[in-house]
């Protein structure tokens, strides 16, 4: 997996969203200032009560819309951050697997890792040779992943446009054949 590009895309998305939030917050401040000015005009009898209510109504709708957009962008930032954490987790897990394969990784370290990942393992025998293994993971690791999204650039060429996460499952089931060898007498 090319996690660098994924992380880069995520960082760019977050940066754009944060810029937009700053712009919207400035616009929100302006709305609040205009609302205060409009209220002052009512008190100074420069505008009628009806005119002030109409202006405040329009400003209130704009305020609600901007606040809603800020909240949506904040949620998107959180989602992108979660996705980045997932991709970082994939890299860390890959590194951990490489470490597991090394001779320096002790049996106790392997047991601790398995305890962190697996809830339980159930083995059932169909007969003396065939066995069914069910591994119940603590998190949905089985067949999880991500799928690249593509879009056309200005030249009509398809380029990567982020990714979407694919939910996995917590259960892995397989059948295996025992290779018991009869003792020679």
Domain boundaries, the chain: 1-105, 117-178
Helical spans, DSSP H, in 44-106: 49-101
Contact 150, 158 (CB under 8 A): yes
Cα angle for residues 51, 52, 53 (degrees, 5° grid): 90
pLDDT of residue 10: 67
pLDDT of residue 134: 93
Sheet strands side by side (includes 130-137): 118-125, 130-137, 171-177
Instruction: Report, as ranges of residue numbers, the positions in the chain whose pLDDT lies below 50.
Output: 1-7, 182-185
What is the residue whose two structure tokens read 């951050």? Answer: 81
Give pTM, 2 decimals: 0.42
pLDDT of residue 33: 92
118 forms beta bridges with: 137
CB-based contacts of 56: which residues, under 8 Å, 6+ apart?
35, 38, 39
pLDDT of residue 108: 84
């Amino acid at each position: 997996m090319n996690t660098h590009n994924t992380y880069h895309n995520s960082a760019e998305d977050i940066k754009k969203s944060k810029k937009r939030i700053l712009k919207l917050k400035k616009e929100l401040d302006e709305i609040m200032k205009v609302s205060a000015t409009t209220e002052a005009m009512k008190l100074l009898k420069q505008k009628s009560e009806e005119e002030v209510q109409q202006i405040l109504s329009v400003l209130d709708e704009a305020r609600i819309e901007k606040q809603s957009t800020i909240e949506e962008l904040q949620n998107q930032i959180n989602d992108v951050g979660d996705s980045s954490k997932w991709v970082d987790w994939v890299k860390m897990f890959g590194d951990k697997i490489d470490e597991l394969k090394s001779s320096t990784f002790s049996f106790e370290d392997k047991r601790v890792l398995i305890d962190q990942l697996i809830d339980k393992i159930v083995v059932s025998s169909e007969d003396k040779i065939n066995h069914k293994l069910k591994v119940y993971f603590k998190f949905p690791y089985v067949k999880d992943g991500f799928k690249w999204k593509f879009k056309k650039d200005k030249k009509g060429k398809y380029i990567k446009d982020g990714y979407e996460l694919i939910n996995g499952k917590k259960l892995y089931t397989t059948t295996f054949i025992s290779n018991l060898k009869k003792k020679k007498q």
